[in-house]
Amino acid sequence: MERTDLRAANRAAVRPVTPRQRAARAARNGGEPTLEFAERVPYDAYVQASTLHRLQTPLSSDPGEMSFLMVSQIMELYFKLTCHELRETQRLLREDRVWDALAPLRRASLHLEGLNAAWQGLRWMTPADFNRFRNLLGEGSGFQSAMYRHLEFLLGLRDPALIRPFRRQAEAYAELRETLAAPSVWDDVVALLARHGHDLPTDLLKRDVAEEHQPHPAVEAAWVRIYDEDAGPDNQLRLLGEALTEVAERFGDWRWNHIKAVQRTMGAKVGSGGSAGLAWLQRSMARVVFPELWSARTAM
């Protein structure tokens, strides 16, 4: 079913209620919650909770596997939610609505905090605990998360080779190619700086956005100037820089927490998806999100 069809069905299932109708119902109920509905419970119709709770299919009888499976699903939802906020940020930046773009960036940062908190649900897992069901996962690995790739691409971490596992999943592959071919958040920020009068070279502004952005001294110099200006509430670009820094920092926390979780549960073993596991994750940490925001701090 198309997204518009799902939205229409959702609206049909969840009937709008005016403040007056809500007050009248509360009066009829004597302050007690409504317990009888003609059709499906409205909360379930909106949240689709009954559907969500049918999506867990452990491969073993080990009780700990449910934690691993559900935390992974929770993280997938946070990946999607953060991508949603970053795309909204891009839409607003392209319209030069810097003030408005701060709100979805703030939400993205908070969602990343929730994403980081999800790791706490796996702190109990030792190598022996993981080994009780790890072999049943086959080659399944978080490395293969399409939504995580969308998140990385939106943040400017771009490696076209990483979409290859999805070539036989036509829809997922097409969506990843689309994200890879479009500007990242950082590309949109750099374009915004140029529109706000910062001297950035044409070849940087017209580069192939499918390739990973390489740190540029002109972008660093622009951020140094922005931060050297008045730190008051009228400095929109400085506030934008701080909001972006918060997102980058929270995402960096998630990558570091991933490394610690791998160390705790499997040490330096080869990853389930065929990578070098811990060593591969450690190398990936060297790729910095929004690099000039960090390097500019040395020159401030």
Supply the DSSP string of 1-15, one letter for each residue. Answer: --HHHHHHHHHHHS-
Rounded mean pLDDT, 11-38: 77
Confidence band for 10, pLDDT divided at 50, 70 and 90: low
Q: What is the mean pLDDT of the chain?
A: 89
Confidence band for 24, pLDDT divided at 50, 70 and 90: confident
- Kindly list the distances between the CA atom of residue 21 and the CA atoms of 13, 30, 34, 117, 231, in Å, as whole numbers in the listed order: 17, 14, 13, 39, 48
Scan for tokens 């972008």, then name that residue. Answer: 219
What confidence score (pLDDT) does residue 141 get?
A: 76
**CB proximity list for 171: less than 8 A, separation 6 or greater:** none
**N- to C-terminal Cα separation, the chain:** 52
Distance CA 274, CA 295 (A): 34
- Give the count of beta carbons closer than 10 Å to the beta carbon of residue 193: 22
Phi-psi group of 208: left, alpha or beta (phi > 0 → left; psi -120 to 50 → alpha; rest → beta): beta
Distance CA 123, CA 298 (A): 36
Confidence band for 37, pLDDT divided at 50, 70 and 90: confident
Are the beta carbons of 200 and 218 closer than 8 angstroms?
yes
Confidence band for 28, pLDDT divided at 50, 70 and 90: confident
Confidence band for 30, pLDDT divided at 50, 70 and 90: confident
pLDDT by residue (tens digit) across 43-71? 888 899 999 999 999 999 999 999 999 99
Q: Output the six-digit token pair for 35.
A: 């317990």
What confidence score (pLDDT) does residue 11 get?
A: 60
Rounded mean pLDDT, 155-160: 94
What confidence score (pLDDT) does residue 7 get?
A: 63
Comparing 13-27, 107-121, 255-269, the range with the smallest average pLDDT is 13-27
Rounded mean pLDDT, 109-125: 96
Comparing 142-151, 219-228, 238-247, the range with the smallest average pLDDT is 142-151
pTM comes to 0.89
Select the more confidently predicted residue: 1 or 17: 17
What confidence score (pLDDT) does residue 19 get?
A: 83
What confidence score (pLDDT) does residue 276 get?
A: 53
